[in-house]
Amino acid sequence: MKFSEDAVMVAFAISRLQDGRRPAEAYLDLVATGANRRPAAIAVCVAGGTEMDVAEQRLRAYDGSWSLRDEDVAELLESNGYFDLEVALTDAQNAAVSLIQQAMAQVALRPAYATELGRLLRTGRLTEAIDSLRTTGRERWPENPRFWGLLEQASVHPGVIQEP
């Protein structure tokens, strides 16, 4: 039986992720074996549960990044959520996401923090996003009633309460 190179890379990446490595580390491990960087990135994304065609399409946004060092590519892909398994949200969850995004629009978010929150929302981790905004909000926007009102609406929304 002959395995495709893609299948071997995905199996390698799965083993690295199961060993507790972050996706960026699994990517670097795979590249260190001599794998080409683009297929290695796709393999790690697929190992995390993303469909191959989605991983390939999503990676096109990073095509200008291959001139960077391996470590920088790994960090860029991971920090921007390339390796994340995005989930299909229910209508109720999408309504809750809308409330969270409206709350976010009421305050000045650092770009890196906004990216992190976007990742939480795309991956269905709505409670985690709300908790993060509450923590940050207590320090940075304690007296913004519109922010707090929208965040409270989101926190009691059925899309959040029934979150898997």
Residue 107 domain-assigned? Answer: yes
Number of structural domains, the chain? 2
Residue 15 domain-assigned? Answer: yes
Residue 85 domain-assigned? Answer: no
Q: What is the 3-state secondary structure (H, E, C) of 36-98?
A: CHHHHHHHHHHHCCCCHHHHHHHHHHHHHHCCCCHHHHHHHHHHCCCCCCCCCCCHHHHHHHH
Nearest of 118, 119, 127, 121 to residue 157 by alpha carbon: 127
Residue 86 domain-assigned? Answer: no
Q: Are residues 97 and 145 in the same domain?
A: yes
What's this model's pTM, rounded to 2 decimal places?
0.79
Pick from 79, 107, 132: which residue ends a domain? 79
- Tokens encoding 80: 């921007």
Q: What is the pLDDT of residue 50?
A: 95
SS3 of residue 111 by DSSP: helix
- Tokens encoding 102: 């409206």
Q: Are residues 148 and 119 in the same domain?
A: yes
Chain segment 38-51, per-residue pLDDT in tens: 999 999 999 999 99
Q: Are residues 101 and 157 in the same domain?
A: yes
Pick from 79, 104, 121: which residue ends a domain? 79
Chain segment 37-88, per-residue pLDDT in tens: 999 999 999 999 999 999 999 999 999 999 999 999 999 999 999 999 989 9
Please list, in sequence order, all residues whose beta carbon lies within 8 angstroms of the beta carbon of residue 162, skipping any fewer than 6 positions away.
Answer: 92
Boundaries of domain holding 156? 91-161
